[in-house]
Structure 1
Amino acid sequence: MLKPSRDLFVQYRVINGSKYILKNYKVFLLDEVGEIIWDSLDGKTTLQQIAEQISIKYQIEVETALDDIEHFINELLEKELIEVT
């Protein structure tokens, strides 16, 4: 199971209550779910574990959460904001 982690060169900032990640002069706004996912990317937590956490918090099916998380993770990988070990 994938256990992604944040890229060491990505910065995380909170500006006026909004959460952003930054790398190479590019800025990405995180929504509430994106923030949960980002905070969970420690190289130890699996996508399944993240999906279960989101499923409980938002009362949705784990499979639905997992599909959305995988899509988000693929976007982060394409933008080189995370690493997969």
Structure 2
Amino acid sequence: MSTTETLSRDEASDRWADVRDLPPSAKLVAKVLDYNDTLSQSQLAEETLLPPRTVRYALTRLEEEDVVESRFSFSDARKRLYSLKI
């Protein structure tokens, strides 16, 4: 194993360190946001197949860990869009 591979693995594990101790639902939401740039709460519920209430809880936990950022949607100010910060 080369030094570059070791660094890449260490960086990847450090990147997810804040998420590691969170509930499985929060990990799933974080991973879906990793694959998709920005999603609304309803889109996250659709993608993860989790109930909206569980997605809300997961997003709250992720925001507490400062892993997710949210902003208002320009097309619908009632909605918030979420993206992964790590």
Could you tell me the TM-score, scaled by structure 1's length?
0.48
Going by fraction, where is strand more abundant, 1 or 2?
1
Which of the pair has more CA radius of gyration?
Answer: 2
Going by fraction, where is helix more abundant, 1 or 2?
2
Could you tell me the TM-score, scaled by structure 2's length?
0.47
